[in-house]
Amino acid sequence: MVDCPYFITVEEAMAICQKSPPQIEVETLPIWESTGRILAEDLASKVDDPPFDNSSMDGFACRFDSDATYPLTLTIVGMQAATGANKPLTVGDGQAARIMTGAPMPPGSDAILPIERCRVDQDNVTLLEAPKPHFVRRQGENLQHGHIALKKGQQLTPSRLGLCATMGHATVAVYRRLKVAILSTGDELKPPGESLTHGEIYESNSYGLAGLVEWAGHTPVRFPAVADSMDSLRQALNEASSTCDVILTSGGVSMGEFDYVRRLMEEEGDIHFWRMKIRPGSPPLFGTWSSTPLFGLPGNPVSSHVVFRMLVAPYLRHALGSDGPKEWTVRAKLCDPVKSTKDCVTLRRVTLVSTEEGMMAYQPRHQGSGNIESLASAHGLTLLQPGQSGEVGTWIDVLVL
Ligand code: AMP
Ligand code: MG
């Protein structure tokens, strides 16, 4: 038995991992290269948004007059397009200016009537109803100059990138993506594309884990599968720790004869905990190899994926103080029974169906932790707490995949 915390809760495991954060660096990038990155600074707006009063409709700009009766005919004084460059128009009593969406409000005007409600006859326009002040977008109504609209730690989603540009920022300080080494271990693993001999299987974890690392906003570095020997593993870990910020291994962390990740970490690395109270996925370990944080994930494909979502993703988010990628849980009613355990969080794969009563969770598949198809076809993972009933009809939290 290793001399470290053993078979602990996810929260306890999380607290231990967070004490060994990866090295973080900041870089400045043009905003068009920053999709999905995590902001390393607060961003204040350099301008008011909108920067000037403007029209939200194509139509006519005029003065609102509460005593007027409609239809009302006004003289057209000119056209105000959505450009700062044209000659400023002024609108007086009895006058209107043709205006385009986004064009600055001509001085003297304070209301807009959309073109569909106007009749144009040469130099005159007849308003069929009263013009509307609410079609004017007021200077600063969205954002005021100096307002901090994006905070350090926020992930730059597409709409947030648009906001950066709207606020006048061409470049942003973001955290450098972490390089995450992915090492599969096992003599039985063959790359897809080659033919299998009896006893061999296709290596799949590194592909799924690489996708998860990218989803989390970082850079996966896939290593060739490592043979089950102390020497090959030591060599791969040395290379990974000298070139990457975090190491993920898969396989070799259970009680088996060939579980060399655990043995090597025990004998030459530094294990901070081993085994966690989740099912599937109880065998993981965490520690450091030459001071690089290392997650020893289980070999079973569903387990390695689940442990990434429950432990590695929150660790990476915490390391950058980040709010993304956002994890969603929904309340759902179990429509198939799920067996809970006394001490583990049970993470069964469920299909979700939205109904008038709420979300329904079905468990249609064989649920072995080696069955990656059961994960690929699922929408969520049950977050069934230790001892919580998993009977049909129970409302539970589901982590959306
Ligand atoms: P282990 O923890 O090494 O005993 O692996 C547990 C199970 O997961 C075994 O059935 C392995 O063959 C399988 N396995 C381990 N690594 C991978 C991998 N990278 N891809 C697919 N299956 C794997
Ligand atoms: Mg193995």
Atom number, ligand 1, closest to the C-alpha of residue 204? 20
Confidence class for position 85, pLDDT limits 50, 70, 90? low
Contact 392, 336 (CB under 8 A): yes
Atom number, ligand 1, closest to the C-alpha of residue 303? 8
Distance 4 CA to ligand 2 centre (A): 22
- What domains sit in the chain, N to C, each tagged with a CATH number? 6-25+177-320 (3.40.980.10), 37-49+141-175 (3.90.105.10), 54-137 (2.170.190.11), 328-400 (2.40.340.10)
Mean pLDDT value across residues 367-396? 95
Give the Cβ contact number of residue 391 at 10 Å: 11
Percent of the chain surpassing pLDDT 90: 94
Write down the pLDDT at residue 2: 66
Contact 182, 220 (CB under 8 A): yes
DSSP, res 101: T
DSSP, res 178: P
Atom number, ligand 1, closest to the C-alpha of residue 228? 3
pLDDT above 70 (res 1): no
* Amino acid identity, position 346: T
Distance 44 CA to ligand 2 centre (A): 51
Mean pLDDT value across residues 291-302? 97
pLDDT above 90 (res 364): no
Percent of the chain surpassing pLDDT 70: 99
Q: Please tell me the residue having the least CA distance from ligand 1 atom 14.
A: 299
Q: What span, in angstroms and rounded, lies between the C-alpha atoms of 243 and 179?
A: 8
Q: Which helix (H) or strand (E) covers residue 390, if one does?
A: none
Q: What is the pLDDT of residues 126-149, one digit of tens each?
A: 999 999 999 999 999 999 999 999
Write down the pLDDT at residue 112: 98
Distance 63 CA to ligand 1 centre (A): 74
Q: What is the pLDDT of residues 322-335, one digit of tens each?
A: 988 989 999 999 99
Q: What is the pLDDT of residues 39-52, one digit of tens each?
A: 999 999 999 999 99
Q: Which ligand is nearest to the CA of 210?
A: 1
Q: Which ligand is nearest to the CA of 205?
A: 1
Mean pLDDT value across residues 295-319? 97
Does any ligand 1 atom lie closer than 6 A to the CB of residue 204? yes
Does any ligand 1 atom lie closer than 6 A to the CB of residue 165? no
Distance 184 CA to ligand 2 centre (A): 9
Query: Closest Cα to residue 9, out of 284, 378, 294, 355?
Result: 284
Write down the pLDDT at residue 210: 98
Half-sphere exposure for 78 (CA within 13 Å, toward CB): 14
Q: Which ligand is nearest to the CA of 371?
A: 1
Q: Which two tokens stand for residue 181?
A: 């080494």
Q: What span, in angstroms and rounded, lies between the C-alpha atoms of 153 and 160?
A: 12
Mean pLDDT value across residues 246-250? 98
Distance 299 CA to ligand 2 centre (A): 6
Q: What is the pLDDT of residues 169-227, one digit of tens each?
A: 999 999 999 999 999 999 999 999 999 999 999 999 999 999 999 999 999 999 999 99
Q: What pTM, to 2 d.p., does this model score? A: 0.91
Confidence class for position 367, pLDDT limits 50, 70, 90? confident
Does any ligand 1 atom lie closer than 6 A to the CB of residue 250? yes
Q: Which helix (H) or strand (E) covers residue 358, if one does?
A: strand 358-362
Q: Whole-number mean pLDDT of the chain?
A: 96
Distance 137 CA to ligand 2 centre (A): 63
Q: Please tell me the residue having the least CA distance from ligand 1 atom 16.
A: 299
Q: What is the pLDDT of residues 14-47, one digit of tens each?
A: 999 999 999 999 999 999 999 999 999 999 999 9
Q: Please tell me the residue having the least CA distance from ligand 1 atom 6.
A: 299
Which residue among 182, 263, 300, 305 is best mutated to probe the pocket of ligand 1, counting the most ligand atoms within 8 A of its Cβ?
Answer: 300
Q: Which two tokens stand for residue 169?
A: 């920022």
Distance 347 CA to ligand 2 centre (A): 22
